[in-house]
């Protein structure tokens, strides 16, 4: 009986530790497009325990790639642009940056940025016209807006953003499964009495 109770207690403790383990990473995928074609897209991750409006410094990872190729400009000319990728390390190395993501509303937040009259959602650059990007949109229900990528130098429209649900990390799953297995094993285990007959 004592062994059975000890196994049950151990299983409960392991299950509780798995449930109380640190929060998982939330992943957000975004895409900025022009005329239905993706022009800049990426993903960022943050600790799901974080609250409020996040900055670049609050992220676990950030990757954004501008899609290269020809762009038809408003004057009817076509211009070729390279594909450029930005990581969180790249962005944290730039002197000016803004990032806004509201964890409660699960939406990108536009904010004012020094030197710009329009609201920005993502921005990271050293000097205007050198390296970096600005992304703005006017939250009027249409999602209209633009991205200026200083390395590629083009304007784009805001297309869509989607969330991926948080998924427990593999270690958390392993602990939960082990805990539930031990609890199940302890509750199913019945000690059988051994009878000995003497002749």
pLDDT digits (tens, 9 = 90+) for 132-182: 777 765 433 334 445 555 444 443 333 344 444 445 566 666 777 777 777
Instruction: Give per-residue pLDDT as tens, 113-124.
Output: 776 666 777 888
Residue 35, token pair as written in the block: 């005329």
> Domain residues of the chain, as ranges?
2-21+170-188, 25-164
Structure token pair of residue 197: 């007959």
3-state secondary structure at position 186: helix
Q: What confidence score (pLDDT) does residue 156 get? A: 39
Q: What gap in Å lies between CA 43 and CA 70, rounded to an integer?
A: 24
């Amino acid at each position: 009986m004592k062994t059975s109770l000890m196994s049950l207690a151990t299983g409960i403790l392991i299950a509780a530790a798995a449930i109380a383990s640190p929060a998982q990473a939330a992943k957000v995928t975004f895409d900025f497009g022009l005329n239905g074609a993706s022009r800049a897209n990426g993903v960022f991750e943050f600790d799901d325990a974080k609250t409020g409006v996040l900055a670049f410094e609050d992220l676990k990872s950030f990757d954004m790639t501008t899609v290269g190729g020809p762009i038809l400009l408003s004057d009817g000319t076509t211009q070729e642009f390279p594909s450029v990728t930005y990581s969180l390390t790249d962005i944290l190395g730039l002197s000016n940056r803004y990032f806004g993501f509201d964890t409660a509303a699960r939406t990108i937040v536009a904010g004012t940025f020094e030197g710009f009259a329009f609201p920005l959602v993502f921005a990271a650059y050293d000097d205007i016209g050198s390296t970096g990007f600005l992304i703005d949109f006017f939250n009027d229900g249409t999602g209209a807006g633009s991205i200026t990528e200083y390395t590629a130098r083009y304007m784009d429209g805001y297309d869509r953003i989607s969330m991926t649900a948080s998924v427990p990390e593999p270690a958390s799953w392993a602990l939960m499964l082990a805990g539930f297995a031990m609890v199940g094993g302890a509750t199913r285990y019945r000690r059988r009495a051994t009878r000995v007959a003497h002749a």
